[in-house]
Structure 1
């Protein structure tokens, strides 16, 4: 293909295959990290989170932000051209910022905060210190020095483990939602969902708002739900039975999230997006 001048097609194939394979690898690590966390193996969980959040996610961000330069680096005969260590901090922050701007939630996320969570050793709320200490028994970096008469994490008592657990779940959902938005941004360039109203993005945000409401960021939950409801009202979805605005209540948002169903609180009409959509598609194919 290269010899016959199909460079653009090659890049398109690279774009799709890189997205699929990096995503698959990322999900395997995230799944095992969350499983380990559920079992209380916090150190192992942080060790497993390092690669997908610092490497896989960054390459996906780079592919979304600047696909041409990322693919050129990917094709290079010099491995150093695509190592993350060879990318300056300024350039990494720019890539994260441009990627965030290309997502549906770009106005929600602070790109610098997303970067600091994963890379900044001086950011007290970030994961970088935890990544390093989970992967190394002894660290000597400034701000990460292992204390005298200690090895990183191996002497953690129950109180320390609960503190680490709390830190993990206080901020990991932010990074995970950002990851979903990056992947959605990539997929949207070459794959489309079935015809109809796509509520995937809204569904994700409702879950995020409920997480805010139940955790240390509860003061932001009301504002988040208000923004989500406003976005849904702009869709102008009315009940086919009584013409009431579907998403005029918080209860309808909860039903959408918990049951993946659109419901009218006024007359109890309900449309199950899992079952009814499949039946609708089957009927359409028969017609």
Structure 2
């Protein structure tokens, strides 16, 4: 991770964005390793086996449907779609977050539209009502065209987002209406619609984000404007990424409850990073919800300092930072820097990208 010219007050928000991106990528990689995106089904006899072996590439769905294997056909289509969406969106999100840190705000917002507007809604739809989505997908592109759906069925779209949130692994961290408005409602000031429209078009005439006279969108922005757009990016995007992670986790665990790409250690890191990020943007005192959550976890496990045998507990923001980066806990009694949490963490999933700048963040 590189913070480039990003102001120090946004570093933890940037780290949070990459932490969430990395978990999506980890889900993809681990899922491929255990063949989560594939399905297995028994063949009735040799004749059916030969029939399957003789089909052309790409016609498996047609063969399954003709063979009366409707449920298997749905599973293949769903898992193939989720794999493709997840793979593509990770690439867009990585570049967008990195561009935001570099101050390339126009590029950052332009790259966000596809993953956080279109692809996220399709994943929400799959989670909320898989059969309805697959039926629409099989009808043709018009049935899943979000621009058309937004004109004809906006209330239904809101209900899909709200329903997906209720099934999400992180439902307590979001608000369904806000999650929908921040991506689709042109009228509210917290919506990204105006940001990515300005990023994609030199001139916009919508009354909510109309181009100024004798100006072009995001072409002549000064240092202050660039800083304001960076601030806006990191105020809104991490929350949407958190929702995205919750949706993806819920879908994959519906397929296989034993598949865990975002375990308890990631959840604790997420809550801790959320507190650190919230402190960057707060205008009033923030409750230490990250510290409290981790301390409760430490008490549950009855973890003691390896040096002085006293119970381990976090004391404040500095301790929180160490936990997020390296799962380190400094003993409040003797000062020993305890690393035993890393030893018992078998499903953390944080890769080198989100750990590589620990010294910049903590020291």
Q: TM-score range by the shorter chain?
A: 0.7 to 0.9
| 3-state SS of 1:188 partner | helix
Q: Which moved more, 1:197-206 or 1:109-118?
A: 197-206
Q: Secondary structure at the match of 2:235?
A: helix
CA distance in 2, matches of 1:266, 1:183: 41
Moved more, 260-269 or 220-229: 260-269
1:18 aligns with 2:81: yes
Structure 1: stretches of 5+ with no match in the other structure: 279-287
The normalised TM-score by structure 1 is 0.83
Distance 1:246 1:169 in 2: 32
Of 38, 51, 68, 2:101 maps to 38
Distance 2:188 2:201 in 1: 19
Q: 1:80 aligns with which of 129, 136, 142?
A: 142
Does 1:183 pair with 2:248? yes
Change (3 A) 1:243 1:41: same
Structure 1 residues 263 and 58: CA distance shift in structure 2, 3 A: farther
1:271 to 323, 340, 344: 340
Cα distance in structure 1, aligned partners of 2:244 and 2:327 = 21
**Partner secondary structure for residue 222 of structure 1:** coil
Among residues 105, 123, 126, which one is paired with 1:60 in the alignment?
A: 123
* Aligned-partner SS, 1:93: helix
The corresponding residue for 2:216 is 151
Structure with more relative contact order (C-alpha pairs < 8 Å, separation 6 or more)? 2
Q: CA RMSD in A?
A: 2.9
Cα 1:146–1:255 shift into 2, 3 Å: closer
For residues 227-255 of structure 1, the C-alpha deviation after alignment (integer angstroms, 9 at most, x for no partner) is 6348737x822227798765675576544
Aligned length: 274
| Deviations 1:9-39 (CA, angstroms, capped at 9, x unpaired) | 1111222222211011111111111222222
CA contact (8 A) 1:138 1:152 kept: yes
Work out the CA distance in 1 between the residues paired with 2:154 and 2:292: 33
How far apart in 2 are the matches of 1:79 and 1:210? 42
Q: Is the 8 A contact 1:212 1:218 kept in 2?
A: no
Match of 1:164 among 229, 234, 241: 229
1:107 paired to 2:169: no
Task: State the alpha-carbon separation in 1 of the partners of residues 283 and 340 from structure 2.
Answer: 30
Query: Is 1:122 aligned to 2:187, yes or no?
Result: yes
1:131, distance to aligned residue in structure 2 (A): 0.8
Distance change >3 Å, CA 276–CA 61, structure 1 → 2: closer
Contact kept? 1:236, 1:245, Cα under 8 Å: no
Deviations 1:196-236 (A, max 9, x none): x73222222221121112x2236474253266348737x82
Q: 1:212 to 1:127 in 2, by over 3 A?
A: same
Distance in 1 separating the partners of 2:196 and 2:105: 11
Match of 1:258 in 2: 325
In the superposition, the TM-score normalised over structure 2's length comes to: 0.67
Provide the residue aligned with 2:276 in structure 1.
Answer: 210
- For the residues of structure 2 that align with 1:61 and 1:254, how far apart are their CA atoms? 32
